[in-house]
């Protein structure tokens, strides 16, 4: 029995009674989602929820190893792997640190990540290939050229994958990226950014910024020619959606500081412009690291993610390994506790969306809904073009998990359409918002400037975020004291 099959059986066999119970409840229309999802979708979400909530504690390194297994390259996809050298000078890196300082409110703690080469995968659609057609035995540069021969649009997605900032890899997004290539006629630049906890904030943000500059101004060894900013869409899902919006904040902040001229930076020996991209498109973005908005608890029944108290307990119960706990210990895997409310960790804290290009949000009725609605609404009220699709009764990043649902196809088609239109027909992209029913897919118009619950004023949002940060600090301090007491008891016995 191969490794993956054995691992799946190990997860499912203990849950056979739970699986049969779920099947019976769905078949008898006794579950809350029987009328909303098909049986396959209900099993997927409820088994995943049970694993995330009740699975045995596992080391971070083991989780990472299991979540980054390369599925290989076959079928209707071109994949060209590339590694680009770090820039010759330190200007872009120092520019990011300067922006972090300018956006902070109060002191925050973070380590300045070192420069390193940038890894990514160019992915596009390979027409006329059979589903199991192997990857061609040609060079990475030739694969890129073959991919470009099939592109019909300049649309380029700078894609940042999901995975809670510490899991997943571009290799797991190849099918999605190939589909985006087919739907847009363009290509996807899928960035292998540095993961926490080994590389905490702002390492991934730095990698995202370097990826944008590398698209605009190809470093030595690149396969691509310079990509125009008006052809680039910042894109991502979940934690990658966070990074896409954070990258947008970085670039728009530069333009807010330089409203009359395009900001510049020295990159690979040249002073270059840092222009605005065509747009930003995110699915189920994680925009509040404090996890404090009402939907976090209010939408538990639809979603599968653990609530903050359970997540905190799981973090505390995680067996130690070579990468976690950090040394010195910190509150979260991704960042220090005093950085939780910084706009470049939690874009929900960003106040100004001046100069923002068009933004697209694809959302489910998920735990992270409110934070996305507040950001979208705030940007729209400040004059940005904002396009929102809200899929009722759908969980976090549902289009990746529930691919048998018609709503998932609609979600991905709308996502691709925005990316294509904002590049090819930007004048036609206007602010709008729709609520989409789960089975009929009927659309109801929403007011893009009144998306979030009325009680979520800017003041209330700040108050809730501070409360969420305080909760995480308190739990962290309690756990630290508990571990110290256990350590002292052990020493006394010796």
User: Which residues are known catalytic residues?
Assistant: 238
Q: How far is CA 290 from CA 253, 277, 369, in A?
A: 23, 28, 14
Buried-exposed string 271-310: b where 16+ CB fall within 10 A, e elsewhere: ebebbbbbbbbbbbbbbbbbbbbbbbeebeebbbbbebee
Q: How far is CA 359 from CA 184, 193, 251, 494, in A?
A: 17, 22, 14, 60
Tokens 């590049």 belong to 423
User: Residue 254: which of 194, 344, 359, 339 has the closest Cα?
Assistant: 344
Angle (CA) 78-84-88 rounded to 5° is: 165
Q: Is the distance from CB of 447 to CB of 377 less than 8 angstroms?
A: no
Provide the token pair at 288. Answer: 């509040």
Provide the token pair at 348. Answer: 């929900």
User: Residue 386: which of 367, 359, 407 has the closest Cα?
Assistant: 359
By the 10 Å C-beta count (0-12 exposed, 13-18 middle, 19+ buried), 187 is classed as: buried
Tokens 């709308």 belong to 414
Q: Is the distance from CB of 92 to CB of 209 less than 8 angstroms?
A: yes
Report CA torsion sign: 83, 240, 398, 391: negative
Tell me if the bond preceding 364 is cis, omega within 30° of 0. no
The helix (run of H) or strand (run of E) holding residue 271 is strand 270-273
Q: How far is CA 80 from CA 87, 148, 187, 266, 335, in A?
A: 21, 11, 11, 28, 32
- d(CA 233, CA 39) in angstroms, rounded, equals 35
Q: Is the distance from CB of 429 to CB of 422 less than 8 angstroms?
A: yes
Angle (CA) 135-137-142 rounded to 5° is: 95
- d(CA 215, CA 232) in angstroms, rounded, equals 9
Q: Is the distance from CB of 357 to CB of 279 less than 8 angstroms?
A: yes
Provide the 10 A C-beta neighbour count for residue 333: 22
């Amino acid at each position: 029995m191969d490794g993956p099959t054995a691992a799946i059986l190990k997860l499912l066999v203990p849950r056979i009674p739970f699986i049969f119970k779920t099947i019976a409840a769905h078949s008898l229309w006794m579950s809350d989602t029987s009328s909303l999802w098909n049986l396959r979708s209900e099993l997927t979400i409820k088994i995943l929820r049970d694993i995330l909530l009740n699975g045995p504690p596992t080391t971070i390194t083991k989780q990472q190893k299991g979540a980054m297994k390369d599925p290989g390259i076959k079928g209707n996809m071109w994949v060209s792997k590339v590694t680009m050298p770090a820039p010759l000078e330190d200007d872009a890196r120092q520019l990011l640190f300067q922006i972090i300082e300018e956006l902070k409110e109060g002191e925050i703690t973070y380590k300045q990540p070192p420069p390193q080469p940038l890894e990514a995968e160019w992915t596009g659609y390979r027409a006329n290939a059979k589903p199991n057609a192997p990857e061609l035995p040609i060079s990475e540069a030739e694969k890129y050229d073959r991919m470009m021969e099939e592109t019909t649009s300049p649309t380029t997605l700078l894609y940042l994958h999901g995975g809670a900032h510490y899991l997943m890899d571009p290799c797991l997004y190849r099918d999605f990226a190939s589909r985006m290539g087919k739907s847009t006629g363009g290509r996807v630049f899928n960035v292998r950014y540095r993961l926490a906890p080994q590389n905490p904030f702002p390492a991934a943000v730095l990698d995202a910024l370097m990826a944008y500059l590398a698209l605009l101004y190809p470093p030595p060894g690149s396969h691509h020619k310079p990509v125009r900013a008006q052809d680039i869409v910042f894109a991502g899902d979940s934690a990658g959606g966070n990074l896409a919006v954070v990258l947008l904040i970085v670039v728009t902040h530069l333009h807010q500081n330089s409203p009359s001229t395009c900001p510049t930076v020295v990159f690979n020996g040249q002073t270059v412009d840092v222009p605005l991209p065509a747009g930003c498109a995110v699915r189920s973005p994680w925009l509040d690291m404090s996890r404090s908005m009402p939907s976090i608890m209010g939408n538990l029944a639809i979603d599968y993610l653990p609530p903050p108290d359970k997540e905190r307990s799981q973090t505390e119960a995680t067996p130690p390994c070579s990468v976690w706990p950090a040394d010195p210990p910190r509150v979260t895997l991704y960042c220090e506790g005093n950085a939780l409310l910084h706009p470049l960790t939690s874009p929900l804290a960003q106040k100004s969306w001046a100069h923002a290009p068009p933004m697209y949000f694809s959302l489910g009725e998920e735990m992270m809904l409110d934070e996305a609605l507040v950001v979208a609404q705030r940007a729209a009220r400040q004059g940005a073009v904002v396009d929102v699709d809200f899929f009722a009764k759908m969980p976090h990043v549902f289009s990746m998990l529930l691919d048998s649902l018609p709503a998932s196809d609609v979600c991905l088609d709308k996502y691709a359409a925005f990316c294509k239109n904002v590049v090819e027909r930007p004048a036609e992209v206007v602010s709008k918002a729709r609520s989409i029913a789960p089975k009929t897919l009927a659309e109801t118009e929403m007011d893009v400037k009144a998306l979030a619950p009325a009680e979520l004023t800017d003041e209330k949002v700040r108050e809730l975020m501070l409360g969420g940060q305080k909760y995480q600090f308190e739990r962290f301090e309690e756990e630290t004291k508990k571990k110290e007491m256990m350590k002292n008891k052990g020493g006394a016995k010796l």
